[in-house]
Structure 1
Amino acid sequence: MTGQFGAKSTTDEVLDGIALGGKRALITGVSAGLGVETARALAARGAAVVGAARDLAKAEEATGGVRAAAAAGGGTFTLVELDLASLASVRACSDRLQADGRPFDIVIANAGVMATPFGHTQDGFETQFGTNHLGHFLLINRIAPLIADGGRVVILSSGGHQISDVDLADPHFASTPYDPWVAYGRAKTANALFAVGLDKRLRQRGIRACSVMPGAIHTDLGRYMTPETVAALLESVKTSGSGKLEYKTVPQGAATSVWAAAVADGDAVGGRYCEDCQIAETASASITGGGVQPYALDPENAEQLWAKSEELVGERF
């Protein structure tokens, strides 16, 4: 799919002329960066946006502009507590949303962590795999009945998926030496594969799921990066031959999310990986040269991850 938007397009450019009155959206990670901008852009077009965040006080402070945009554009904005590193919190959040009963037309799995020190979630999962993938896997599957027929699910992956495929034999680095970038790559590949598996299961209701690469952006996502992890990333860029790592602004970074959620044709993006407001092509060996690795869209790989994820969270979907 080619179109009028690209790497430099912003959320406002992508949504120009789009009216979202009567639509409801759930966005995770609305306490900073891309989540805040994504919520602002949708609420400004009239959407009723529910923002999920671990720290509600931080999110409340960060989203004043979202509330102002919602008031001006006819939308609404509310917050719900969600800690993706705790399955108990995920279940409590999903229970709260199900009790409310109102459907969602758009779900954007935006929250995540990157290049964290070695650690575990409250349930013993490796931090990045547990937070970025398993938390969203449980949340979205539990609220799937709330997603309106014809709705859209957008899961944020990353070009970092090119660093590593998932390792379902050792997902928590119990026997593998921990590397923060390998862990990030595994988690982001899992995000892309989750979209493949989810799209397969929900498309009969007209719901389409896809994954997106927002781009390299200076946000709170990099708060765990040490000089050593930065050096490792820059060295990988150098050795890949892809040249200088180019950064996007936050509105440019969030543009692919809103494009995939509200502008792109669902049948075109369903089960696919998107970047720069386009469907990505097969990747080169470079981790920053763009594109998607075949293993991140492989249906068999997606099914194996789905089964392992059900086993880990203790629920079947």
Structure 2
Amino acid sequence: MFNAKSTTDDVLSGLDLTGKRVLVTGVSAGLGVETARALAAHGAHVVGTARNLAKARMATSGIAGLELIELDLASLASIRAATNALNAKGDLFDVVIANAGVMMAELGRTEDGFETQFGTNYLGHFTFVNRIASLIRSGGRVVILASGGHRFSDVDLDDPGFEATPYKPFVAYGRSKTASILFAVEFDRRHRGRGVRATAVHPGAVSTEFGRHMTPESTQALLEALEADRRAGAPEVENKSIPQAAATSLWAALVAPADMVGGRYCEDCSVAEISEENWVTGGGVRGYALDPERAKSLWALSERMVGETF
């Protein structure tokens, strides 16, 4: 029914989400704002997180009933404070959409010393979602925003922080997004027995604030990779509008059958096939991003890194 051109309103058409509670991270711009808007427009109660609440309030001023909470995914202290408050309140969620993140930042460290992209995009959500897992209803879903950028790199379980590896922004981004897919794989395995499923999604190419950390050098490196793909015969990358880019998250969260998307990687409102074409663009998912044993190993490493067992 749906494809790359489908929008958030297309996939939610005819759905009454009254009574549904959905948590969305990163509602201060772009896909997070559109995701929250579409959910609220169909009757859902949306709880949105943002590092900068003032910015989020301005960006979401037209969304009725939106509840905002402060969350900095680059700070374990902030994550623990936010999750402690949510757990104390005890309200359950039908869907959690891990949407926030950064893209192709220069080498930096989070408050806790993690490489910025791995720490924010992956470890921050790993900790946040796991700490509120008991608040997700049976029959609920977790949607992790990944990216076709996972094709840039597999995770490095021996050197997740680039202590020994030369740093490249697009490689670090790829690692963080591969890790995000593996997180969905293992979370789904651990929770499907109680009726909670997890999936990873690729929104597609879209112009948002997500790329605000890109330098001229990282932008040039990305353009060169795209040109190399084009010469090798890769499909042309078509940019999406923000409503089109946010559609797959909502499709996977509320429309697609749970058994279809659980533990899988989705794009263009469908489940992606495994593709080992040597392209950084194009459709499909690399096999390493769905490897269940690698997902288990990454989970164990992540627990050691954040100092918590889930």
Q: Normalising by the residue count of structure 2, what TM-score does the alignment of the two structures yield?
A: 0.97
Identity of aligned residues (%): 64
In structure 2, the partner of 1:125 is 114
User: Which residues in structure 2 correspond to 1:202-241 (within 5 Å)?
Assistant: 202-240=191-229, 241=232
Given that residues 83 and 89 in structure 1 are in contact (C-alpha distance below 8 angstroms), is that contact kept between their aligned partners in structure 2? yes
Q: Which runs of 4+ in 1 moved over 3 A?
A: none
Kindly state the Cα deviation for residue 225 of structure 1 after the two structures are TM-superposed: 1.3
Kindly state the Cα deviation for residue 66 of structure 1 after the two structures are TM-superposed: 2.0
In structure 2, the partner of 1:55 is 52
Letter in 2 for 1:124: G
In structure 2, the partner of 1:185 is 174
Match of 2:261 among 258, 263, 269: 269
SS at match of 1:201: helix
Match of 2:9 among 8, 12, 19: 12
C-alpha separation in 2, matches of 1:163 and 1:301: 17
SS at match of 2:227: helix
C-alpha separation in 2, matches of 1:78 and 1:40: 12
Given that residues 157 and 192 in structure 1 are in contact (C-alpha distance below 8 angstroms), is that contact kept between their aligned partners in structure 2? yes
User: Which residues in structure 2 correspond to 1:164-203 (within 5 Å)?
Assistant: 164-203=153-192
Structure 2: gaps of 5 or more residues: none
In structure 2, the partner of 1:28 is 25
Alignment RMSD (CA, Å):
0.8
Q: How many residues align?
A: 306
Structure 1: gaps of 5 or more residues: 68-75
Letter in 1 for 2:169: P
SS at match of 2:66: strand
C-alpha separation in 2, matches of 1:277 and 1:171: 31
C-alpha separation in 1, matches of 2:222 and 2:62: 33
Match of 1:45 among 42, 46, 70: 42
Letter in 1 for 2:249: S
Of the structure 1 ranges 243-252 and 307-316, higher mean CA displacement relative to structure 2 is found in 243-252
C-alpha separation in 1, matches of 2:75 and 2:124: 7
SS at match of 2:63: helix
Given that residues 28 and 109 in structure 1 are in contact (C-alpha distance below 8 angstroms), is that contact kept between their aligned partners in structure 2? yes
In structure 2, the partner of 1:70 is none
Q: Residues 129-148 of structure 1: CA distance to partner in whole angstroms, max 9, x if unpaired?
A: 00000000001111000000
Letter in 1 for 2:77: A
In structure 2, the partner of 1:309 is 302
Q: Residues 58-112 of structure 1: CA distance to partner in whole angstroms, max 9, x if unpaired?
A: 0000001223xxxxxxxx3110000000000000000010011010000000000
Kindly state the Cα deviation for residue 245 of structure 1 after the two structures are TM-superposed: 2.9
SS at match of 2:217: helix
